[in-house]
Amino acid sequence: MGIYKYSYRFNAMHNTSGSASGKHTHSFEVVFYLRQQMKFFYETENQVNCYMSKYMGAYLNDVLPVTPTIENLAETIFCEINGLCEDFDVIRLELSDSPVQTYIVGVEEV
């Protein structure tokens, strides 16, 4: 069984400093490595897009139940999206908030 690689980009704001002036925007990129059962990939892509839409243009402090760091956001997406459907597993997730920083969740080699 092969692995699909799917990328999703979105802009969102967050504040990890606690001060009113600490609110700022990032352009995020999430890369999903998906292992799935026999299914058309567009169906999986639609499920991922639907889930990820809640982050598009969002203020992450209002969306996440934890401090919206890149690590917490990646861990939340990884856990929640794996619970979406039994037809696929996200075996690895990479989340970038800048060209020089990526946080990776998942233990399998790709």
Evaluate whether 82 touches 91 at the Cβ level (below 8 Å).
Answer: no
pLDDT < 50 positions in the chain: none
Task: Please tell me the pTM assigned to this model.
Answer: 0.88
pLDDT for the residue 38 = 64
100 CA to centre of own chain:
17
Domain count across the chain: 1
110 within domain boundaries:
no
Domain of residue 98, residue span: 4-16+26-105
CATH number, domain of 47, equals 3.30.479.10
Both structure tokens of 81: 């999206």
Q: Is residue 21 part of a domain?
A: no
pLDDT score at 14: 92
- What three-state secondary structure class fits 54? helix
pLDDT of residue 8: 93
